[in-house]
Amino acid sequence: MKHFVEEEYIPKQLWDYFKTKYNNGKMAMRYINPKIPIFMEWLRNTLGKRIVINTWHLNLAPEQTFDGRCLRLPGDSKYKLTSDHNYGLAVDFEVDGMIAEEVRQALLYTYSSFFLALGATIMEKNTNWVHVGFADLSIGWTPQKICGIYMVNP
């Protein structure tokens, strides 16, 4: 990975478990859909701006610390039984210098073919962050589709 480190995708609790048990926190990446880091590198290169996922590894003030923005564990306060985050199939992030809606609009109307080709299928709407999902919603779901991308409520 060029612009991201593995800690950005993994919750601190899981990272610490693998680091303690196997002396290698990076082993936790096995729980992340491999399309997510590829997508995030593509997006970083395409937009040319810093992207923030998890920040727990940076020793920031609590109000600036993010954890569980990719994979979520049952103890996470944002854990929901049906969330794609539980399965390493979604990522939340922010792009420096852009509001979430600007990023969504760019992904929908400028880069939708790349978005879909990289395996992404879903975005949440009406949030202050960007949520991109990699799950298959073609069976039993009827959310709004724009440019082939499923737009769902958080």
* 1 lies in some domain: no
* 81 lies in some domain: yes
Q: Report the domain count for the chain.
A: 1
Q: Where are the beta strands (DSSP E) in the chain?
A: 51-52, 90-95, 122-124, 130-133, 144-146, 149-152
Measuring CA to CA, which residue among 122, 116, 107, 112 is closest to residue 153?
A: 122
pTM score, two decimals? 0.94
* 24 lies in some domain: yes
For 22-81, the pLDDT digits (tens) are: 999 999 999 999 999 999 999 999 999 999 999 999 999 998 999 999 999 999 999 999
For 89-144, the pLDDT digits (tens) are: 999 999 999 999 999 999 999 999 999 999 999 999 999 999 999 998 877 777 78
> Is 1 strand, coil or helix?
coil
Q: In what order do the strands lie in the sheet with 130-133?
A: 51-52, 90-95, 130-133, 122-124, 149-152, 144-146
* 109 lies in some domain: yes
